[in-house]
Amino acid sequence: MHKSIVIDHLCRVEGHGGITVRIKDGKVADVNMDIFEGPRFFEPLVVGRSYDEVAPILMRICAICSASHTVASLMAVESALGIEVSTQTRLLRELLVQGGNIESHALHLFCLSIPDFLGYPSAIALASDHLQEVKMGLELKKLGNTIQEAIGGRAIHSMNAVVGGFGRPPTREALLDLKGQLTKGLEQSLAAVDLVSGLEIPDFCTSPNIYAALSSDGSGYSLFGDRIALSTGDTKDIKMYKEICNERVVAHSHAKQSLFKGKPFAVGALARIALNGEKLSGQAKKAKDKLGLSSLSENMLDNNAAQAVEMVYSIERSLDIIDELLREGIKQEEPVEVRIRAGAGVGAVEAPRGTLYHSYSFDKAGRLTEADVITPTAQNLANIEKDLRISVENLIDESRESLGPKLEMVVRAYDPCISCAVHLVEVNLDEKRISKKESRRIT
């Protein structure tokens, strides 16, 4: 029996992608996550640009993760130029990233993913039967945007976070206002956890995963860290990120794929909870236990639950950051003065969908000579294909009509950001190794 399942265009994901599955003699022959978002060639575009122009360009790789791109980019520039920012700047940047995490997780859970579990084509359709839940989701999403506006100056493509600090730090009144909204949001995020705990999570894509996430020395759960930790027990300094993200070109995708020691791995909320979950505290820890995420999950559909836990975490952490800023007294400080020099640096942040790396080199005039950006979705692509293959093997007797939506659910669980994945890195490829046969091989 030969059959193929082709999902031309995945809906409710950011960007343009599809799925192709070929089944031959009752066995899965090929599973491809097709990425056909057009390439924009971001890295070559920033070569020659002055150090202060890099973040405003590269944050625009992606709208949903632009806060993470902004902060990773600024950290890479500052590491290259030897700039130390103030504690206040570090806290405000973290707050910006937490705002992005809240917005992105709320968007994914309520608008893109939960409709799958409840059998609706969209959040708008879901609202006809579950108006209160959808309204709550939209309010949580708005909370994330309100933080990004207050700190970054704009919900999408922040312009207030700059090299060395902030154009204009928020006022005490603005922080107090955010605090009030976050306190209300915390209640809503706990209600979101209740909602997610009631969803039935299918297990057709279950298989062992290798997870990777940033690791910090601090005692608390964090979206930052100088080391990369893997569930295999390996750790790497972020400067060695290329040892983890061994990128390869595959013919069916405009995005490159990442492998660690020849194996696919996963990044994102579920990976973070798997590796750093024991550091959660407060309501987020309770939410993790309630959703049964206490052990290493082998089911990527649990990523939705992990996002619900992180929404609680990001709100609690934002409240802590604001308290610390208020305690220390928010200063209307200017960005740190920059002394231009040649140098190279890496910045890494846990973006909503996983670890994001920006790596740059500058010449002595402060102009960019080389840029490399590795996005979470690019790292997840090989693992998505692994999970799609397992799913098809488990569901091989199902009809095309029934299988298609389930495969879409698997892809959607990763919360892929396809625009991000097709950012197009310039790496030194060993061209001889990319024969046509090899480039089409599936892991």
Partner 1 sequence: MGKPKVGIYGLTGCAGDQLAILNCEDELLDIAGALDIKSFPMAMSGGDENCPLDIVFVDGAVVQPKDEELLKRLRERATLLVAIGTCAVWGGLPAMKSEIAREELKRKVYGRAGKIFDTTAPQHLSRFVKVDLSISGCPIEKEQLLQSVASLLHGDLPRLPNYAVCTECKMAEYPCVLLEKGQLCLGPITVAGCKARCPSYGQPCIGCRGPVEEANVSSEVRVLKEKGFTWFDIQNRLRTFAAPADCFEDKIFKEGANA
Q: What is the footprint of partner 1 within residues 231-290 (CB under 8 A)?
A: 249-251, 254, 256
Residue 213 or 424 with smaller CB distance to partner 1: 424
Examine residue 179 and tell whether it contacts partner 1 (CB under 8 A): no
Q: How long is the chain?
A: 443
Name which of 240, 243, 247, 241 is nearest 433 in CA terms. 247
Examine residue 156 and tell whether it contacts partner 1 (CB under 8 A): yes
Residue 248 or 285 with smaller CB distance to partner 1: 248
- DSSP secondary structure string, 93-113? HHHHHHHHHHHHHHIIIIIII
**Residues sharing a CB contact under 8 Å with residue 47, sequence separation 6 or more, in sequence order:** 368, 369, 370, 371
Residue of 34, 78, 310, 408 interacting with partner 1 (CB under 8 A): 408
CB of residue 387 to partner 1, shortest distance in Å: 20
CB of residue 398 to partner 1, shortest distance in Å: 18
User: 350 with 213: CB under 8 angstroms?
Assistant: yes
Examine residue 41 and tell whether it contacts partner 1 (CB under 8 A): yes
Q: Write down the residue that tokens 């940033």 correspond to.
A: 214
Examine residue 340 and tell whether it contacts partner 1 (CB under 8 A): no
Examine residue 55 and tell whether it contacts partner 1 (CB under 8 A): no
User: 391 with 407: CB under 8 angstroms?
Assistant: yes
Residue 56 or 202 with smaller CB distance to partner 1: 56
CB of residue 107 to partner 1, shortest distance in Å: 7
The span from the CA of 47 to the CA of 27, in Å, is 47
The interface region with partner 1, picked from 13-21, 221-229, 235-243, 352-360 by CB under 8 A, is 13-21
Backbone angles phi, psi at 124, to 5 degrees: -65, -40
CB of residue 286 to partner 1, shortest distance in Å: 27
Q: Is 40 exposed, middle or buried (0-12, 13-18, 19+ CB in 10 A)?
A: middle
Residue of 99, 153, 165, 185 interacting with partner 1 (CB under 8 A): 153
Examine residue 191 and tell whether it contacts partner 1 (CB under 8 A): no
Task: Looking at residues 59 to 88 of the shown chain, list those that interact with partner 1 (rule: CB under 8 A).
Answer: 60-64, 66
Residue of 20, 30, 57, 177 interacting with partner 1 (CB under 8 A): 57
The span from the CA of 73 to the CA of 75, in Å, is 5
The interface region with partner 1, picked from 49-57, 185-193, 206-214, 337-345 by CB under 8 A, is 49-57
CB of residue 293 to partner 1, shortest distance in Å: 27
Q: Write down the residue that tokens 């802590």 correspond to.
A: 320
Name which of 297, 272, 116, 113 is nearest 203 in CA terms. 297
How many residues bind partner 1 (CB under 8 A)? The answer is 71
Examine residue 201 and tell whether it contacts partner 1 (CB under 8 A): no
**Residues sharing a CB contact under 8 Å with residue 119, sequence separation 6 or more, in sequence order:** none
Buried b (16+ CB within 10 A) or exposed e, 316-355: bbbbbbbeebeeeebeeeebeebeeeebebbbbbbbbbbb
Examine residue 369 and tell whether it contacts partner 1 (CB under 8 A): no
Residue of 20, 246, 439, 443 interacting with partner 1 (CB under 8 A): 439
CB of residue 277 to partner 1, shortest distance in Å: 29
The span from the CA of 12 to the CA of 235, in Å, is 34
Name which of 47, 17, 101 is nearest 373 in CA terms. 47
How many CA atoms are closer than 13 Å to the CA of 347, on its beta-carbon side?
27
Examine residue 413 and tell whether it contacts partner 1 (CB under 8 A): no
Residue of 38, 208, 218, 292 interacting with partner 1 (CB under 8 A): 38
String of contacts with partner 1 for each residue 107-146, x by CB under 8 A: x---xx--x-----xxxxx-x---x--xx--xx-xx--x-
Residue of 3, 24, 27, 168 interacting with partner 1 (CB under 8 A): 168
The span from the CA of 258 to the CA of 210, in Å, is 12
Examine residue 434 and tell whether it contacts partner 1 (CB under 8 A): yes
β-pair partners for 17: 35
263: helix, strand or coil: strand
Residue 107 or 229 with smaller CB distance to partner 1: 107
Examine residue 431 and tell whether it contacts partner 1 (CB under 8 A): yes
